[in-house]
Amino acid sequence: MNIELFLSTQLSPIINELFGLSSTPNDIILQKTKKEFEGDYTLVTFPFIKAAKTTPEKTGELIGEKLILSNSLIEKFNVVKGFLNISLSNNFWLSEFKSISKDANYGIKPYKSSGKQIMLEYSSPNTNKPLHLGHVRNNLLGFAVASILKTQGHDVIKVNLVNDRGIHICKSMIAWKLFGNGETPLSSGIKGDHLVGKYYVEFDKAFKKEIQTLIANGISKEEAERQAPIMIKTQEMLLKWEANDPETIALWKMMNSWVYDGFQVSYKKLGVDFDSIYYESNTYLLGKEIVQEGLSKGIFYKKDNGSICIDLTNDGLDEKVVLRSDGTSVYITQDLGTAIERFKEFPTINQMIYTVGNEQDYHFKVLFKILSKLGYDWADECYHLSYGMVELPEGKMKSREGTVVDADDLIDGMVFTAKETTEESGKVANFNDDEKEELYHTIGMGALKYFILKVDPKKKMLFDPKESIDLHGNTGPFIQYAHARIKSILRDFNKSTESLTISDDILLHDKEKELIKFQYDFPKILEESANSFNPAIVANYTYELAKLFNQFYNECSVLKEDNQSIKDFRIKLIESTARIIKNSMECLGIKVPERM
């Protein structure tokens, strides 16, 4: 039952009768009662005091008294300074729980029932370096948002745009050509994406060294950056690539293949996947064509130096280059091509979501504005899911200087820490080796994913691996342990729960009622999380649910309860709690163990 609608339907005619108004249920605004007050839902009486011609407190009392008489599901009320706090009856919550307990997918709408198709892009790695901690947040955020959107019945297409071309890719290529001596992943034993990333760092070292030499010879830093021989060679390589030079293309394909193999290993470790993968090398030419079309229509203009630009100053933005003077494309060129290609391939898309860090906020404002000026109506349906950067206690990371936290190393480290922590507890004595390894990976990845996803995407975050794996804080392992604890109780119960019935005569304990009320909120939590593209709402809800279970279990006996009806009810209550924990954690891409 929709409680707000139920209460609004009850309250509207009462208010009309008492005060001579003509309100409808839509006019009644209810909110959940604050924890410090008794009650389930609260009505603010101030909008009615003029018609009531009395105080807010008296207005609340008049409405409350009439409400109690009109429906047996309303148990009691209290008024605090014009706020009417309404308590629903024991039988009401018991009835709600009966519905919840019967629904294995409570809160999750049937797949593809909404008729809305959403394309969601995440990951978007560069092929000049391996995935790092920043990419981890991107991948986990994108995957979780896609999963949560699916709970609302939306058809979600998960896509990855691989940045496989451009000056940054050529930096790794030229460094390998100059310093690599034919080194390969096979000959070096280095994972492919790590090997290419190694040469991206080597480029930066050589570049800085050449700059210092030029500066020492009396050249300004700005001019030295332009004249550095390794940078000139890199720019020449980019021109050769765009001219389809066979040797350059062969090198590019070879090094990119190393990276793709490496990425696939990392994605599997992270537990993320994609329905479709796009490559900028396939769309940047389309972007160039679009620029030429826009130029002919007067949307773009050519500057004296030969570059093509668009003036967006009247739109609160700046002048933007869309094609360099040497004819090479920039990021926005290929993004234009990719966006148009996607909507051609999937004409039924209702929304296009880009999961990209907040340092690109301006870029996407420009992209969407250009698409709109080019006449694409769907530009209004493009959305930038902007998120804050991830920092470590040591500070920011820099790929070109090799000071990033590698994703693979991070994952392996989390699993190792989970192993150490779990073995110290001495609770895996009855596990075989395969079960232990699976548990360590489940706990380690649960710690990593939850710690990142519990933070509002818009916020910058500090990742602390040690804090993330604590069994006693707002962490993934804490929630996983609550689930495992419930499963242990159900195993000890050692009977099928399907045949259990819930008696109508049960008088709910306060902690039982809290658990039921919290479970009731799950569909709204999923809806709110989906509408705001914010998995943190689901994550923190699940933590609170796990905490409530612990509080309930500390105060209410389950297996040792003598009253069979109460015992059966509590078994169903914790079973439903475990199910919702599992479903919500799955939305975050996190597994929950049966034993821990």
Q: Using a cut of 0.95, tell me whether the model's pTM lies above it.
A: no
Residue 400: pLDDT above 90?
A: no
Q: Tokens 């604050």 appear where? A: 34
- pLDDT tens digits, 557-570: 999 999 999 999 99
Average pLDDT over residues 241-262: 96
pLDDT of residue 399: 44
pLDDT of residue 111: 67
Q: What is the DSSP letter of 3?
A: H
Average pLDDT over residues 25-45: 94
Q: Tokens 């309250």 appear where? A: 11
pLDDT of residue 20: 95
pLDDT of residue 402: 47
Sign of the torsion angle spanned by Cα atoms 148, 152, 157, 161: negative
Task: Confirm if 312 and 320 have CB atoms less than 8 A apart.
Answer: yes
What average pLDDT does the structure give for the chain? 94
**Bridge pairing between strands 319-323 and 390-391:** unpaired
* Percent of residues, the chain, with pLDDT higher than 70: 98
pLDDT of residue 397: 42
pLDDT of residue 110: 75
pLDDT of residue 394: 64
Residue 273 to residue 157: CA distance in whole angstroms: 11
- pLDDT tens digits, 193-210: 999 999 999 999 999 999
Instruction: Name 213's Cβ contacts closer than 8 Å, sequence gap at least 6.
Output: none
pLDDT of residue 112: 67
Domains of the chain: 3-88 (3.30.1360.70), 122-391 (3.40.50.620), 407-587 (1.10.730.10)
Task: Confirm if 351 and 387 have CB atoms less than 8 A apart.
Answer: no
- pLDDT tens digits, 469-507: 888 889 999 999 999 999 999 999 988 998 899 999 999
- pLDDT tens digits, 346-381: 999 999 999 999 999 999 999 999 999 999 999 999
pLDDT tier, 589 (very low <50, low <70, confident <90, very high otherwise):
very high
- Output the CA–CA distances (angstroms, integers) from residue 44 to 58, 80, 85, 482, in the order listed: 12, 10, 9, 37
Task: Write a three-state SS string for 333-401.
Answer: HHHHHHHHHHHHHCCCCCEEEEEEEHHHHHHHHHHHHHHHHCCCHHHHHEEEEEECCEEECCECCCCCC
Instruction: Name 143's Cβ contacts closer than 8 Å, sequence gap at least 6.
Output: 122, 158, 270, 271, 272, 273, 589
